Amino acid sequence: MVWRFSFNHYFNAYKTRIFIAIGFVVLLILLRYVGISNYVSLEAIKANAVYIKNFISYNYALSVFIYIIILMLASFFSIPITVILNLVAGFFYGAIVGALYVNIGVTLGATLSFFAFRYLLGSFVQDRYAEKLKNFNKNIEKNGYSYLLSLQLFPATPTMLINICSGLTLLKPWTFIWTTSLGILPGSLIYTFAGQQLSKIENTRAILSWPIIIVFIMLAFASLLPVLLHRFFNNKKPVL
């Protein structure tokens, strides 16, 4: 009876969000079922490279807008085509400018995901586990930016997991946005520079040459710096 009452209470309080969440999951499953990654492939991009370049040369601003929207949606729904889209940006727009467009698209998608999960589940989690999360929330408020920046810099951290967990905390939106933008920049530059040689790349695994692997390893070590520097400066006592 207690469980039933609790379920009814939460269902009535969050039913709109529950239906939105169900719709989101269904849409995500449909997108995976359709297999968008089969249509956005290196083979398809290279086969239509001439047409895409012509379109960009005559409709540059529109092409950038379309590219950013596609990357934003791919990031928001966690569709596994972001690496290919990074390579595409380097090939068609150049490494530096392409990395800028990648940064805008991925940051927008991650931010939408952050707000979506905060709206759908954030208040529920914070209300349900208010006492247990009290110390955790204080720590996030004080040190959240250094933890998040480290996670974003680390190459193997699942982006969707970062977005979900961040949305469930009391992390400030601006902190999430700037750490995401800064944290994904090194990885984006690696892929866009590699994308300049897109015609020679057969699949995404082909970009993992030893120099690229070494750079990713260095980036993994660099991901520890924000936390280490934060602890160093916070533990450093002033000399009287």
Confidence label for 3 from pLDDT (cuts 50, 70 and 90): very low
Return all residues near 176 (Cβ < 8 A) that are at least 6 apart. Answer: 110, 111, 114, 148, 166
pLDDT of residue 18: 72
Give the Cα separation of 51 and 92 in Å (integer).
Answer: 11
Q: Are 99 and 188 in contact (CB under 8 A)?
A: yes
Average pLDDT, the chain: 79
Model confidence, pTM: 0.78
Give the Cα separation of 108 and 64 in Å (integer).
Answer: 14
Position with higher pLDDT, 96 vs 152: 96
Give the Cα separation of 135 and 222 in Å (integer).
Answer: 28
Nearest in space to 160 (alpha carbons), one of 122, 112, 205: 112
pLDDT tens figures, 125-145? 777 776 777 787 777 777 777
Any idea what DSSP says for residue 206? G
**Structural domain boundaries in the chain:** 35-235
Q: What is the CA radius of gyration of the chain?
A: 21
Whether the per-residue pLDDT at 93 is higher than 50: the answer is yes
Give the Cα separation of 68 and 181 in Å (integer).
Answer: 14
Whether the per-residue pLDDT at 107 is higher than 90: the answer is yes
Token pair listed for 209 = 């040459």
Burial class (CB in 10 A: 0-12, 13-18, 19+), 168: buried
- Mean pLDDT, range 39-54, rounded to an integer: 86
